[in-house]
Amino acid sequence: MTNSIGEIDHAELLLLVGTNTTEAHPIVGYKMRQAARKGAKLIVVDPRRIELAEEADYWLRIQPGTDIPLLNGLMHIIIKENLQNSTFIEERTENYAALKETVEKYTPDYVSRLTGVPEENLYAVARLYATTDKAMTFYTLGITEHVCGTNNVMSVANLAMLTGHLGRPGTGVNPIRGQNNVQGACDMGALPNVFPGYQRVIDPTAREKFEKAWGASLSGDMGLMIPEMFDKAHAGDLKAMYILGENPVLTDPNSNHIRSGLDKLEFLVVQELFLTETAEYADVILPAASFAETDGTFTNTERRVQRVRKAIEPLPGLANWQAIMDLSTKMGYPMNYRNPEEIFAEMASLTPSYAGISYARLENSSIQWPCPTSNHPGTPFLHAQAFTRGKGLFQAIEHIPPAEMPDQEYPFLLSTGRILYHYNVTTPYSAAIQSMWSEEYAEVNPEDAARLGVDYGDQVKVYSRRGELLTKIQVTDRVPPGVIWMSFHYKDSPTNAITSDAIDPITKTGEYKVCAVKVEKI
Amino acid sequence: METVKLTINGMAVEVPAGTTVLNAAEQAGINIPRLCHEPDLSPLGACRLCVVEIEGMRNLPASCVTAVSPNMLVHTHSPAVVEARQTILELLLANHPQDCLTCEKMGNCKLASYCYEYGVKQSAFPGDRHNYPVEDSNPFIVRDMNKCILCGKCVRACAEITGKNNLDYAYRGFNSKVTTFYDVPFVESDCVFCGNCVSVCPTGALTEKRIQGKARHFEFTKVKTTCPFCGTGCNFDLNVKDGKVMAVTTGPDNAVNGRALCIKGRFGWDFIYSDRRLTTPLIKRGDGFVQASWDEALDLIATRLQGIKDKYGGDSFAALSSARCTNEENYLLQKFTKVVMGTNNVDHCART
C-alpha cells in the first residue's frame, strides 16, 4: 500500500475495486465501514453484492473482467469535464497525452455497454472521485487475478495520478496484500529476480554486494517464477524442489498440471505443518513450526514490520529457521545464527529500506519501511515528493477481455475468492472453525438455480475444460445471473482443479477470477 | 488548544476543553470505577458506577459523560459517592448469580473487583432473578445472560468496531436483555464470531467456550505477537498456560487493529494443536511415509540435493518460500537457494 490503514479514518472517499474487504481483510473492512458511517463516500466496484456494496453510496456491478473499460471510462469523463488535477499531471507525471488519446474512445455509452454500469453512475462516480480531496483507492485480487492483472493495476494508478490522489495522507493506490507476510517474503528476496530489498540479481553491483556479504559466488540469471517451475518440471528440466509452507496443489490454478509436475520431480522436500495435498508428493517431509513456536517478524500490507514472538516450544523440536540452517551447514555452507534476531540484523544490514529497523526498536512498537537509519521514524505513506522512478508514467491501456468466456458448451462464468471463516489452507485444520464451515457452498443466482432445478444444499457437478468437481450450492443474488462463485478452501471441492490456467504475461498470475464452466444437477 | 482548569479531590487539574471528568481524573492519577465505559467505544453513561459529586450540581452525574467546565470542584470518592456506588453494586448483585467460585470470569470480573473494592458482599434487595438458559450453540462463545449487567459494551463493540449491529437491547424493564434480532442463538443470527463482544464484556456473561473450566485469566502468561492469517497485521496476545496456548486476547492499544480481531485471529489459531500436525520428519518408502530423525532427514536431503546439483546444475533446483512464514525464514531460504544451490529459482505465492 502506498498509504496506511489508519488513514481510512480521515479519508473522504474510499474507492474499492475488486476487494471483498470485510471477508478477506476483516479489520480493514471494519474500518472502511466505520468511515462510511461517519460520512466518507464509499464506492464499491464488484460483480458480487459483497457486504460493503450494501453500504456503498455507489455500487458498480461490473461484468467480470471489465475493470479496464470502467477505469478508462471514468478517466474519459474526468478529462471531458476538465476535472483532472493539471498541476499534479504537469509536475509529477509524464505521458499524459497518450493516456488522453486512449481513453478518448471509452465514452460513457460504450463503457456502459461493456461493463453493465448505468451511464449516470459512471458520471456520478467520476465526478465524485475527481473532486474529492482525500480519496483512497483499494484493490486486491479482483484486480490482479486476470490475464490483464498488471494492466488493471496500472489503470488504477492512472486514475489516481490523473486526479492527484497520491503522495498525501488519505489518498493512494492501496493493494491490500493477501497473506500475513506476503509483503515481507517479497522484501526478503524470496523472488526469482531480486535479492533482499528488491536489489536486482542482474545488477552486477548488487550481485557483488551480496557475494561479498555471503562469501559465495552468485548467479546473475533471473530465476523461474512459480508457473515456470511447474512447466520446467513437466519438461524434465527441473529435478528437485524445496517447498516451505505452500500448498500449490490446492491454491495454484489448474491443479492437475501442478500434480503431474510434482510427480515428475526426482526429489521433493516439503516443510509443512500438515500432510497437505502437496506434501503427499514429497520424498522427505520436514515438520514445520507454527507462528506461535518461533521468534521473528512479519511485514504487513502497509509495510509495517512487527514482531512475532515465541509463545511455546516448537512442536516438531526445531523451528523452521533452525532446520534450514542445519541443512545449509550439512551442505558445506555453515550458518551459525543463534536466534532470529541475528538473521534479521544481517538482512537489515543488506537491505536499505530495513536498515534502521532492529528487534530493539520493534520491542514496543512497529515500524513502516522505508526506514533507512536507526533514528528514522518510518514511512506511513510513500511518494510524497517523487515516485520511485521519478515522474509517474501514465500507461495507455486498452481493454483485454478474459481468456475464457462462457460459451454454449460451458455457459457459466466461474469466479473465485475467499470467505470470512477460512484463510487458505490452515483454518481447515481449526477444529472449531471446521465444525461450523466444513464444506463449500457455491453461490448460484436464483434465476440459474430455478433453471437448473437446484435448491440450497443440493449438490452439483461443475465442469470446466480442465477438470470437474462436486460442490453443494447456496442460492443467492450476491452473484448475478450466469455467474457461479466458489471459494478455494476445501479439498473436497478443489476449485482450482477447474480454474483457468491463463496467466498474466508479466506476473504469471493465474486468471482465478474468470473461467467458463458448466453446472449439472446430480 | 483551549484548556480548562478545575479541581478534583482538592488537586488543581488542567485538561483540554471537552475532556470528560472521568478522563480528567484519570490524567490526575485518580481511578474512577466504571462498568460501561471503554476508551474505544462511544460513551453511554448507563452503569452509573462512575458517578461523582460536583459542587453546585443537584445530582451525582456520571463522570464518563460529563465534560469538564472551568473551576469545577469534583469529588470522586466523597461519602455520598461511595454510598451511591455501593447501592448500584447491590442493585446489580440483586439479580446476579453468585457462583463466582466456578465462574469462568473469576479473577477478571469487573463487577467482582468493584464489589471487593466497595465492600459489597451481598444485596440488600432480594427479588426476582432471571433464569435464562445458557446459550452455547456455537464453538466459540458462551452466553450466560443471567450474568449480563446491561452495560451495552457488547452492543457498542458489535456496532462500532465490527459494524455488524447484531446485538441490541430487547424487551422492557426487568425483562430487558441484550440479544440478537428475534432473540435467536448466535448461530442463527448475523454473528460473524469476531469475539469483539467477548473482549469488552466486564462480567461472565460472554466468555470463550474453548477454555471453560480449563484456565483462569490470571494463570496466563501473555505473549504479544502478530496474526498469522491475512496481510492486515493485527496484533494480539497469545495466552499461555503450562506451555500451551489457551486463548487469544486483545487490548485497545494495538497499532493496526486496536482491540478488534476477526474470527480467524481470535479463534482460528487452534490449528496449531490439530491432531494432524506433523511432529517428526517423514521419509517416503514405497507408497507411504516412515518416521525419521531430524538428522536422518536432513542428511538425506543434503545428499540428494547435492547429487542433483552436481549432476544437472543448480538451475535444476527450485524453492518455494512462504508468504505465511516469517521474514527471517524467508531470508534464510532464499539465501540457501542462491548460495548453496547456486540458482535464483526461488519464488512464493506473491502474485496469486
Q: What is the CATH number of the domain that holds A76?
A: 3.40.228.10
Same domain, yes or no, for A210 and A231? no
Q: Do A229 and B347 touch (CB under 8 A)?
A: yes
* Residue A98 pLDDT exceeds 80: yes
How many independent structural domains does chain B possess?
A: 3
Q: Do A229 and B320 touch (CB under 8 A)?
A: yes
Share of chain B above pLDDT 70, in %: 99
| pLDDT value of position A491 | 85
Same domain, yes or no, for B194 and B230? yes
Element (H, E) at A13: strand A13-17
Q: B-chain residues within 8 Å CB-CB of A495?
A: none
Cα B316 to the chain's mean position, in Å? 48
Domain span at A474 = 412-521
Same domain, yes or no, for B145 and B237? yes
Q: Do B284 and A508 touch (CB under 8 A)?
A: no
Same domain, yes or no, for A115 and A140? yes
Q: Do B226 and A184 touch (CB under 8 A)?
A: no
How many independent structural domains does chain A possess?
A: 4
Same domain, yes or no, for B130 and B263? yes
Do the domain assignments include residue B24? yes
Same domain, yes or no, for A71 and A95? yes
Do the domain assignments include residue B48? yes
Domain span at B213 = 126-273
Residue A508 — very low, low, confident or very high, per pLDDT cuts 50/70/90?
confident
Do the domain assignments include residue B118? no
Same domain, yes or no, for B291 and B256? no
B334 closest CB neighbour out of A189, A284, A332: A189
Residues A313-324 have pLDDT tens digits of 999 999 999 999
Element (H, E) at B297: helix B294-312
Q: How distant is the Cα of A389 from the closest Cα of chain B, in angstroms?
A: 22
Share of chain A above pLDDT 90, in %: 90
Residue of B nearest to A239 (CA): B316
| pLDDT value of position B124 | 86
* Residue B320 pLDDT exceeds 90: yes
DSSP states of A18-49: S--HHHHSHHHHHHHHHHHHTT-EEEEE-SS-
Residue B352 — very low, low, confident or very high, per pLDDT cuts 50/70/90?
low
Residues A158-201 have pLDDT tens digits of 999 999 999 999 999 999 998 999 999 999 999 999 999 999 99
Residue of A nearest to B224 (CA): A309
Residues A431-471 have pLDDT tens digits of 888 888 899 999 999 999 999 999 999 999 999 999 999 99
How many other C-beta atoms can be found within 10 angstroms of the C-beta atom of residue A448?
Answer: 20
- Looking at every residue in chain A, the average pLDDT score rounds to 95
A9-18, A494-503, B23-32, B281-290, range with the lowest pLDDT: A494-503
* Residue A205 pLDDT exceeds 70: yes
Bridge partner list, A136: A14
Same domain, yes or no, for A11 and A158? yes
Same domain, yes or no, for B286 and B262? no
B206: domain CATH number is 3.30.70.20
Q: B-chain residues within 8 Å CB-CB of A433?
A: 139, 263-264, 267-268
Q: Hey, what's the cell of B74?
A: 469534583
Share of chain A above pLDDT 70, in %: 100
| pLDDT value of position B350 | 76
Q: Are strands B221-226 and A483-487 parallel, antiparallel or unpaired?
A: unpaired
Residue of A nearest to B261 (CA): A27
Residues A147-164 have pLDDT tens digits of 999 999 999 999 999 999
A263-277, A500-514, B285-299, range with the lowest pLDDT: A500-514
* Residue A41 pLDDT exceeds 80: yes
Q: Do A27 and B234 touch (CB under 8 A)?
A: yes
| pLDDT value of position B123 | 87
> Rounded to the nearest 5°, which phi and psi values hold at A220?
-100, 10
Q: Exposed, middle or buried: residue A107 (CB in 10 Å: 0-12, 13-18, 19+)?
A: middle
Same domain, yes or no, for A274 and A348? no
A428: domain CATH number is 2.40.40.20
| pLDDT value of position B126 | 86
Mean pLDDT of A337-349: 98
Do the domain assignments include residue A501? yes
Same domain, yes or no, for A251 and A338? no
Boundary residue ending a domain (A258, A286, A314): A286
Do the domain assignments include residue B84? no
Residues A354-385 have pLDDT tens digits of 999 999 999 999 999 999 999 999 999 999 99
Q: Do B192 and A420 touch (CB under 8 A)?
A: yes
Boundary residue ending a domain (A270, A286, A302): A286
| pLDDT value of position A228 | 93
Residues B260-283 have pLDDT tens digits of 999 999 999 999 999 999 999 999
Same domain, yes or no, for B189 and B232? yes
Mutation pick from B285, B293, B346, B352 vs chain A, by most beta carbons of A within 10 Å, is: B352
Residues A372-425 have pLDDT tens digits of 999 999 999 999 999 989 999 999 999 999 999 999 999 999 999 999 988 876
Q: B-chain residues within 8 Å CB-CB of A435?
A: 139
> Rounded to the nearest 5°, which phi and psi values hold at B122?
-150, 170
Same domain, yes or no, for B303 and B239? no
Q: What is the rounded distance in angstroms from the CA atom of residue A78 to the CA atom of residue A164?
A: 12
**Nearest 10 degrees: CA dihedral of B181, B182, B188, B189?**
0
A185 closest CB neighbour out of B138, B318, B330: B330
| pLDDT value of position A488 | 87
Q: How distant is the Cα of B271 from the closest Cα of chain A, in angstroms?
A: 4
Contacts of A289 (CB under 8 A, 6+ apart): A314, A315, A316, A318, A319, A320
Q: Do B320 and A243 touch (CB under 8 A)?
A: yes
Same domain, yes or no, for A163 and A307? no
Do the domain assignments include residue A159? yes
Q: Do B323 and A185 touch (CB under 8 A)?
A: yes
**Nearest 10 degrees: CA dihedral of B269, B275, B281, B283?**
-130
Same domain, yes or no, for B241 and B130? yes
B243 closest CB neighbour out of A223, A312, A420: A312
B347 closest CB neighbour out of A190, A196, A333: A190
Same domain, yes or no, for A312 and A282? no
Q: Hey, what's the cell of B57?
A: 450540581
